[in-house]
Structure 1
Amino acid sequence: MTVAPDAPILFFDSGVGGLSILGPARAMLPTAPIVYAADSAGFPYGTKSEAEIAARVPALLGRLVERYRPRLAVIACNTASTIALAAVRAALDIPVVGTVPAIKPAALLSRSRVFGVLGTDATVRQPYVDRLAAEHGADCTVLRHGSAALVELAEAKLRGEPLDPAVARDALAGLVRQQGGDRMDMVVLACTHFPLVEAELAAAAPHPVGFVHGGDGIARRIAFLTQGQPWPDAAPPGVAVFTRLDDSIDALRPALATFGIQRIEAL
């Protein structure tokens, strides 16, 4: 398949969390054209049912691919990936990269053999997470906790709003208070929103813990899948597309600009 230099990489999330995936990808492929899509009308995904997400995500990605003709799509959302990745791949005729919890690196890094998986409620209950934990952390105690409030905290941070430190503290407490939580030394940030508030989580931790997420690994995967393809000489202005535009989206403009996104559109 011939790929035009201006064919973009499409990043898709429920909100701004996918920017934590976009950042490492831009660092690795600095002239890549970018379309960042956020399902603001469906946000947040973590409190939705599997059936809602399984129906919504492939339909939206189909419309986005039809409009923007990307060379590759990235589902930059753990919840959408763990539920809808197979359906999206079946529906699209371009490569699709998913985002899965970084359980393997956490298991490799954990010295205490106790680590946490901090995600949305929808992600932490998925059988996919069970399989990853069994495959890579069979000798570990794997604690899980879902936090919708932490997703909202990341969105508020990118809008430049004051942040309540209790939100990060409560999210970590959901792991630490479980049996073995006092020995937890690693936390998997299993929602793409959460690396955006890693500093707040580190400040709230009752004892030192390391944090891992999938951004760098996904950037390497994108680079591998687009190897040998042509790129523009300079990065064109990035585009952000939202399924609903309102004042909260306008407040994101300065944060989006730091990721090279200059234009906002509605789907």
Structure 2
Amino acid sequence: MTDPRPLLFFDSGVGGLSVLAPTRAILPHAPIVYAADNAFFPYGVKSEEEIAGRVPVLLGRLTERYRPRLVVIACNTASTIALDPVRAALDIPVVGTVPAIRPAALASQTRVIGVLGTDATVRQPYVDRLAAEHAADCTVLRHGSAALVALAEADLRGEDTPDAAYAAVLAGLLDQPGGDRMDSVALACTHFPLIADRLAAIAPRPLSFVDGGPGIARRVAWLTRDQSWPTAPVPGIAVFTGPIDPTPAFLEHLAGFGLDRTARL
């Protein structure tokens, strides 16, 4: 018998799709529930107390409704702040999202790397620990950008987003002391891999942009390695905590990630 329980991906918005995509590549028949807390978007400008209080409650409600086999907090900000409380509240495996500092350091030749995330993520002590453990011989530059999160959301809705807006965000790293030698950037927000091609296109020189999505996908596959799946792909569902603008471009993008239905929590 196959197991119909889904994988539950959670983010403040559409960023977690960058984690869902590599997971679906490994587990193409996995039922998927993708939950976006767009009513409270964006997380990156909220306080730690607000996020720590909200995320465990929301994931408790989502778990009760959809009965997932595993939860992926596909959001760096939520993971760095609320991962432990969520794990304490739920009795199923919970996978968090780790800023990709280690692969960024491994990719760097100049030993100057950037960490591009939300304001809430880049200021977390967790990022300090990752840098000390995996990039001790590197200069680590950080920049938080709520603007880039909004650009990624707008891009998925099919809106035009100007090159100058991406250049302004990247300048937050490049214009820092040492930024002229930076050659590798950890995309420490799951929204950012969705528009990594735009960042690469406007960069004044070749930069390596790395993210944690593929590693998270491998972790999910390992944790579910002994479990059964449906014998054919199952249409996924995107769940939102607030109203959405269901433009054809937005729905088409969701469908491209295997999410053929939408619902409100």
> Partners of 2:259 and 2:246 in 1: how far apart?
16
Pick aligned residue for 2:218 from 220, 235, 239: 220
TM superposition shift of 1:142 = 0.1
Pick aligned residue for 1:48 from 43, 46, 49: 46
2:124 matched residue in structure 1: 126
> Partners of 1:187 and 1:89 in 2: how far apart?
29
TM superposition shift of 1:246 = 3.1
2:67 matched residue in structure 1: 69
Label 1:35 to 1:115 Cα distance change in 2 as closer, same or farther (>3 A).
same
> Partners of 1:111 and 1:103 in 2: how far apart?
14
- Dislocated runs of 4+, deviation >4 Å: 248-251
TM superposition shift of 1:251 = 5.3
1:247 matched residue in structure 2: 245
1:194 matched residue in structure 2: 192
Q: Is the 8 A contact 2:74 2:97 kept in 1?
A: yes
Pick aligned residue for 1:176 from 165, 174, 177: 174
> Partners of 1:247 and 1:135 in 2: how far apart?
42
1:266 matched residue in structure 2: 264
> Partners of 2:21 and 2:118 in 1: how far apart?
21
| 1:156-192 per-position Cα deviation (integer Å, ceiling 9, x unaligned) | 1110111111121011100011110000000000000
Count residues with an aligned counterpart. Answer: 265
1:145 matched residue in structure 2: 143
1:22-171 to 2 correspondences below 5 Å: 22-171=20-169
Letter in 1 for 2:63: V
Letter in 2 for 1:103: I
Letter in 2 for 1:59: V
1:237 matched residue in structure 2: 235
TM-score (norm 2): 0.98
Gaps of 5+ in 2: none
> Partners of 1:159 and 1:99 in 2: how far apart?
24
TM superposition shift of 1:250 = 6.9
Gaps of 5+ in 1: none
> Partners of 2:91 and 2:225 in 1: how far apart?
18
> Partners of 2:2 and 2:60 in 1: how far apart?
20
1:9 matched residue in structure 2: 7
Partner of 1:247, secondary structure, is: coil
TM-score (norm 1): 0.97
Q: Is the 8 A contact 2:59 2:86 kept in 1?
A: yes
TM superposition shift of 1:249 = 7.1
> Partners of 2:190 and 2:244 in 1: how far apart?
22
> Partners of 2:126 and 2:91 in 1: how far apart?
24
Q: Give the root-mean-square deviation of aligned CA atoms.
A: 1.2
| 1:61-93 per-position Cα deviation (integer Å, ceiling 9, x unaligned) | 000000000000000000000000000000000
TM superposition shift of 1:233 = 0.5
